[in-house]
Amino acid sequence: MNKIHAAITAVHGYAPDYVLTNKELETMVDTTDEWITTRTGIKERRILKGEGLGTTDMAMHAVNGLLEKRGISAEEIDMIVFCTTTPDLSFPASANILGDKVGAKNAWGYDVQAACSGFIYGLTIGSQFIETGKHKKVLVVAGDKMSSIIDYTDRTTCIIFGDGCGAVLLEPNYEGLGVMDSILRSDGSGIKHLHQKAGGSIKPATHETIDNREHYVYQEGQAVFKFAVTNMADVAAEIMDRNNLTADDVAWLVPHQANKRIIDATANRMGVGTDKVMVNIERYGNTTNGTIPLCLWEWEDKLKKGDNVVLAAFGGGFTWGSVYLKWAY
């Protein structure tokens, strides 16, 4: 029998309606549209508005759209891997909350917290359950309501992040299509450069932590940029070398949308031209876990069966990695 590969058989995404432009940010913090665009490539980002709405509400839209597209019911889903940095609650897992919202009554699942590399991690995890024959239909959902942990008086972070969510369905493939290889890395010493200071078990919420604005993303931009440029580019090049892929062999690079300069550095390291790079950072900003599946969703009609696709990401933790897959439809 041919080897089982885990293939993406459907993809869908969701971005909230509210558009936060650079021009609006100019009225909130000391910055300019030109400064933001030059340094990040971002022009606008989406924000989830509405009382009581969280990450799983965006995920519900993405998953329902995916199920309709694939023509299957939620009850056919075996497992949900939910990649997020902004879960609805500390517990239960957002995977469980989402399963209830979409009616995936026969699925089990859990959350993966790998910051911006979450989708890469989650895709690799979900693939294992397909490749072993354990499951037939695995949902990998990735998204964040970053606006819930962003300080809109901090111009170093509020210009970067947005809200959004994407989802893919993994199913067995016997034609040699699907996830072919992955490389995942992490380095916990990066914590000092990118983290949330309070709200966890070492520093639970108090009046003091709230007054000190410690429940927001803290980032040392230059340090993170330096690590991201090197590691994301290196791991993408490494997965090409390991699978004997030339730049001509690669149909698409799908990079995490953190910063246009990091995206360009990764493409240059791989030798891939800009016409082969999926970029939508100018419209969505950095949706953390959601960036790569949102790109796949927007470029779905341009992807062809058999295309060699390289995914690459870098995130807080530090975490980084790359996945090589052959598009299956």
**Residue 39 contacts residue 46 (beta carbons within 8 Å):** no
Distance CA 39, CA 144 (A): 23
Which one is catalytic: 83, 116, 158, 165?
116
Which one is catalytic: 5, 12, 193, 256?
256
- Positions of E strands within the chain: 5-14, 18-21, 44-47, 79-83, 108-112, 138-145, 163-173, 178-186, 194-196, 217-219, 252-255, 308-315, 319-326
Give yes or no: 116 in active site: yes
Give yes or no: 173 in active site: no
Half-sphere exposure of 289 (CA within 13 A, CB side): 33
Phi/psi of residue 89, nearest 5 degrees: -140, 165
Which one is catalytic: 22, 96, 286, 308?
286
Tokens (6 digits) for 33? 């549209």
Distance CA 157, CA 137 (A): 37
**Residue 284 contacts residue 15 (beta carbons within 8 Å):** yes
Distance CA 79, CA 20 (A): 34
Catalytic residues: 116, 256, 286
